[in-house]
Amino acid sequence: MGLARTTNPMATSIVRRIGDDGGALTRDVVSELDNLIAWAKLSPRCIHRSTASTNSSGAGPDTLHTFTLPANSLQANGDYLRIEYSGVFAVDDDDKGIRATFGGTEYANRGLGKTDFDGSVGWVLRSTIIRLSTTSVRVASVVTACVLIADSLNAFTGTSGNGGLMLASNLDITGLSDLTANTTTMTMQSLGVNANDVTQNLAIIELTQQ
């Protein structure tokens, strides 16, 4: 019987060893499988992705995206999530903003409220959420919303939409329900004036465990 095809060197070694041993799982094969499992666990893996486009319905906060983090995803201190949300602000004179929550606590755009963007401006929120204990995490995030304008000589002349922002945030969220035993709700929300002020069209969530 031919060997299975794989591009992973460790997996290739295991497949060959099983073939050489006539299909028996020898002690060496079991050891290599254990190593492969440990390697895979330490590697970041995507646990959620979405390109669905969702528009705000009014002043908000309107929930544009929700993800339920399975219980025991952050199963040890130091396990962490990498998150990217992205979308666009509408071309109008309304004040607009975004906010993100983890377990019901806001961690992005705290105190910022809404900003006057008049042009079509893309926004991106990137965050890292790392477990500190069974009931607490630390969140580091950066949100940007700005389009740079350059002339024919590539000289910077300003921004589109009469505005732009870059906001870094770092805080600890405490008092969460036991992360090992309970699911945790993660939301991306809009702040606006009218419907369609804010659109989200990308969400990617990656998990790294020890």
Same domain, yes or no: 58 and 27: no
Residues 28 and 116 in one domain: no
User: For residue 18, is it within any domain?
Assistant: yes
The pLDDT of 41-59, averaged and rounded, is 88
Averaged pLDDT, 39-53: 85
How far apart, in whole angstroms, are the C-alpha atoms of residue 40 and residue 93?
A: 48
In a domain, 66, yes or no: yes
In a domain, 31, yes or no: yes
Q: What is the CA radius of gyration of the chain?
A: 22
- Chain segment 5-34, per-residue pLDDT in tens: 445 555 555 555 555 555 555 566 666 676
Q: Do 127 and 142 reside in the same domain of the chain?
A: yes
**Residue 189's CATH number:** 2.60.120
- Count H helices and E strands in the chain, helices first: 2, 14
Q: Kindly compute the dihedral angle of the four CA atoms of residues 191, 107, 81, 131, in this order, to the nearest 10 degrees.
A: -160
Domain residues for 32? 9-42
Does residue 2 fall inside a structural domain? no
Q: How many domains does the chain have?
A: 2
CA distances, 5 to each of 43, 55, 176 (Å): 21, 44, 44
Q: For residue 135, what pLDDT is reported?
A: 98
* More confident of the two residues 194 and 182: 182
| pTM, full prediction | 0.75
- Mean pLDDT on 158-162: 51
Q: Which residue has the higher pLDDT, 166 or 2?
A: 166
DSSP secondary structure string, 5-48? P-S-HHHHHHHHHHHHTTT---HHHHHHHHHHHHHHHHS-EEEE
Q: Classify strands 80-89 and 198-208 as parallel, antiparallel or unpaired.
A: antiparallel
Residue 80 has pLDDT above 90, yes or no: yes
Q: What is the pLDDT of residues 148-157, one digit of tens each?
A: 555 566 565 5
Output 157 or 73, whichever has higher pLDDT.
73
Residues 35 and 54 in one domain: no
Average pLDDT over residues 163-171: 78
The residue assigned the tokens 């970041």 is: 44
